[in-house]
Amino acid sequence: MSNNERTFIAVKPDGVQRGLISNILSRFENRGYKLVGIKMVIPTENLLRQHYAEHVDKPFFPKMLNHMMSGPVLATVWEGKDVVKQGRAILGATNPLNSAPGTIRGDYAVDLGRNVAHGSDSVASAEREINLWFKKEELVDYQLSQLSWIYE
């Protein structure tokens, strides 16, 4: 299969607390992407500082850090054709007010600081984020039985 890649998608504490896990996961499953890693974690400050390294010096970072450490995060890895770009499309714009209805953020979020989910923004970011949140042995390689019904 061409352009097969992996992405990191996290359901943030607000998404977990609001009971949106199954709604968010089903969007990716229904699209035909394969779940290859999943775990519930309460992220440490160190992990979040690495994950959001490009934002550490920005004024909003302390508030975002506190929010992300406020409760459990569902960390997931999805695999499939163009999954990084398509994953971002499924999530919608980072600011929920700019997200179209039918996207996760467009359907379930209002404020930027409570946008329910994170998705990798590039293949390079996805690889870095997956390696931060998951050990290699926590990712599962398997053949999706529906593969021939999803891909030509």
- Binding-site residues sit at 12, 60, 88, 94, 105, 115
Location of structure tokens 């609001």 = 18
Residue stretches of the annotated binding site for ATP: 12, 60, 88, 94, 105, 115
- Taking the C-alpha atoms of residue 91 and residue 70, their distance in angstroms, rounded to an integer, is 22
Q: Using CB atoms within 10 A of its CB, is residue 141 exposed (0-12), middle (13-18) or buried (19+)?
A: exposed
Sign of the CA dihedral running 83, 108, 17, 43 = positive
Which residues are marked as active site?
Answer: 118
Cβ atoms within 10 Å, residue 50: 16
